[in-house]
A and B are shown apart, each in its own frame.
Chain A
Amino acid sequence: MITTKDLKYTYKGGPQLVFPDISCRASDILLILGNSGVGKTTLLHLLGGILTTHEGSVNIEGTNICTLGDTALDAFRGKNIGIVFQQNHFIDSLTVLENVMIAQKLAGNRVSAQEALAMLEKLNIGHKSKKSIRDLSQGEKQRVAIARALINKPKLILADEPTSALDDQNCQEVLLLLEDQAKAAGSALVVVTHDSRLKEKISNKVILVS
């Protein structure tokens, strides 16, 4: 469950971005729509505690993450927030499976190759678990990124343009995957996108305007 209040952010020497209050309950999906440049990624970074210098508050499961210190925020983020980025980055020197396992490790959870493999299999990518990240296609990487975001059963899943690089069929598939997994884990799912294909598929939405 996530709620925000009076969230504002000012870029150095730039305009002030004022965000509408948003709220998303466990197992629900919230779509945040908006054209390029309206501050979608900025909002996502604020929600994920990646960006902290702002006004207002972000409440996740009763914790106002704006009040957390650097180290406490890192720990909170690792344990409670799973993020799927627009461009998926991985640790290149590790295998697919190890990239999922390191998320368990860094969150301070028990590291289990079995659980990590089970998650990859749920996302139909289990057969590539021993491969290097570099050998994967864009669509496959997306699945690994989702597996990594979900492995710690986070309270909040943030997805930044998860479908914009995908064709219609893959777009549908990835959205279903995210929905199913978020529901199964009881997580709140917030999707930030300009992809209008998702508009009809998700009812709960906020539209950002500049």
Chain B
Amino acid sequence: MNILYLAWKNVIKNPLNLLMSVILFGLGVGLISFLLLFNSQLKEKFDKNLADIDLVVGAKGSPLQMILCSMYHIDNPTGNIPIKNAAPLLREPHPLIKQAVPLSLGDSYKSYRIVGTNHEILGLYGATVAEGDLWKNDFEVTLGHTVAQESGLKLGDKFVSSHGFADDADLAHDHAAFVVKGILAPTGSVIDQLILTNTASIWLVHEHHGEENEGAATHEEDHHHHDHGEDHIHDNSNADLLAHPEQEITSVLIRYRNKTNFQALNFGRNINENTEMQAASPAIEINRLYSMIGLGTDAIRNLAILIAIVSALSIFISLYKGLRERRYELALMRVMGAHRSGLFALVILEGLILAGIGFAVGSLVSHLGMNWAAGFLKQDFRYSFTGWKWLHEEWYILGASLVLGLIASLLPAIQAARTDINKTLSEK
């Protein structure tokens, strides 16, 4: 028997009041906490996948789309660029470029993207081979960790790709069967969700595709068949790509030798102004994306704060209203020896308990909701989110909740402490 027990009993005596306060408070806390969880994990994923890449060069279009496509693999390409146009970037050594990794996109397997590239992409994301080997010849692939886990593909397994991102049998390229040569160790970055192969495999898949759909370009197709027959580009080097100037790739990921070099700073703009390609800086585009998402989350956060204030008001009203009904109780407690400070503390505790329960419920709901949403997000973004993560910001939300509970109960508590026992007990 102590004051906390009494406060608790008083709180649960009125289940309807309790329910209303907790639902409102929980809603406010839940929304804020959910936004926090979502934003922090999204930012973490985006930041991790920046991979120290300074510039992405691809076909003209939306720079943000190009970044989302080439770096985060959550959007479609803006188009392709002919190798002859990209040749200045790929030719080594380059005075400004330390590393240029070509990407060829367009196919996927079970909605995991197949990327035609060279072995240098592993270095960008710090990936290592866990099982088997890297791809070497046409139609050999190395799987990212998540792809291997989720698809169940093992070393030596064969599979057929489909066009685009869709997991649709109608779009399957049935001529080309890829064979799994290796599996990468997990990195926590986007490479876990990619199927890596050489650039030529992507070309070959699409030539077959092209033959089926556009019989017109026969002459060119023949030319390519000839090339691949001689297996020219199996060692995946950029020099090999340069030998096929008429072929296309989707984009090039670039790391500068020196990020602060004056020429490097103007490099992207030169490409945009003087070529048929576009260049974009991932950091700038992602910040632009944050600020766009930020507008939406700001609105939701303000709404959540409004709900939290209304819920504090509901706690205030329920305590204040309860005070009238409980004035005999409070006077009685004074008669039995409780001090004014005791009554003050009792009402404050009740407010804190209400806020505490509200926080607990809201927090639980937001974590459960995040875990539930993680399923959708995985489908839409192919990024894994989790609800079972406690952010240190959530301690601030707890603190703010308790402060709100304290403020809401302050006036009722003062009123309780001022109870005039003679007057109250003389009322009939």
- Interface, chain A (partner B; CB < 8 A): 41-42, 45, 48, 50-51, 70-71, 74-75, 77-79, 83, 85, 87, 89-94, 98, 101-108, 111, 148
Contact = CB atoms under 8 A, between A and B. Distances in A.
A187 to B, nearest CB: 16
Interface string B332-366: 11111111111000000000000000000000000
B1 A92 contact: no
A93 B9 contact: yes
Given A45-B425, A105-B1, A89 B329 contact: yes
**Which has the most chain B C-beta neighbours within 10 Å: A45, A103, A106?**
A106
B335 A83 contact: yes
A104 to B, nearest CB: 8
Nearest to B10: A93
B266 interface: no
Contact of A89 (B6, B13, B332, B339): B332
B332 A91 contact: yes
Contacts of A101: 1
B422 interface: yes
A78 B13 contact: no
A103 B426 contact: no
> Considering the complex of A and B, which 6 residue pairs feature the smallest CB-CB distances, nearest first?
A78-B337, A89-B328, A93-B9, A93-B13, A106-B337, A106-B336
Nearest to B333: A106
B6 A94 contact: yes
B428 A87 contact: yes
B2 A105 contact: yes
A98 B426 contact: no
**Which has the most chain B C-beta neighbours within 10 Å: A75, A85, A102, A107?**
A102
Contacts of B331: 89
Interface in B376-428: 421-422, 425-426, 428
Contacts, number: 75
Contact of A108 (B333, B335, B337, B428): B337
Contacts of B328: 89
B319 to A, nearest CB: 14
A45 B6 contact: no
Contacts of A51: 422
A77 to B, nearest CB: 6
B6 A50 contact: no
Contacts of B2: 105
Instruction: Say whether chain B's binding surface is mostly helix, strand, loop, or mixed.
Output: helix
**Which has the most chain A C-beta neighbours within 10 Å: B13, B332, B340, B428?**
B332
**Which has the most chain B C-beta neighbours within 10 Å: A75, A79, A91, A104?**
A91
Contact of B426 (A45, A70, A74): A45
A50 B1 CA distance: 25
Nearest to B428: A87
A58 to B, nearest CB: 14
Given A87-B428, A91-B329, A94-B6, A103 B13 contact: no
A94 to B, nearest CB: 6
B338 A78 contact: yes
A87 to B, nearest CB: 7
Contacts of A108: 337
B347 to A, nearest CB: 13
A77 B337 contact: yes
B421 A79 contact: no
A172 B332 CA distance: 26
Contact of A50 (B337, B338, B421): B421
Given A91-B6, A91-B329, A71 B339 contact: yes
Contacts of A83: 335
Contact of A74 (B10, B329, B339, B425): B339
B344 to A, nearest CB: 12
Interface in B1-46: 1-2, 6, 9-10, 12-13
B425 A50 contact: yes
A42 B425 CA distance: 10
Given A78-B335, A104-B1, A106-B336, 7 more contacts: A74-B338, A83-B335, A91-B332, A94-B6, A102-B1, A106-B337, A108-B337
Nearest to A80: B337
Contacts of A71: 339-341
A109 B131 CA distance: 72
B422 A45 contact: yes
A25 B47 CA distance: 84
A48 B333 CA distance: 14
Contacts of B334: 74
A85 B334 CA distance: 14
22 contacts: A42-B426, A45-B422, A48-B335, A50-B421, A51-B422, A75-B339, A78-B335, A85-B425, A87-B428, A91-B332, A92-B13, A92-B329, A93-B9, A94-B6, A94-B9, A98-B9, A102-B6, A106-B333, A106-B337, A106-B338, A107-B337, A108-B337
Nearest to B7: A93
A172 to B, nearest CB: 26
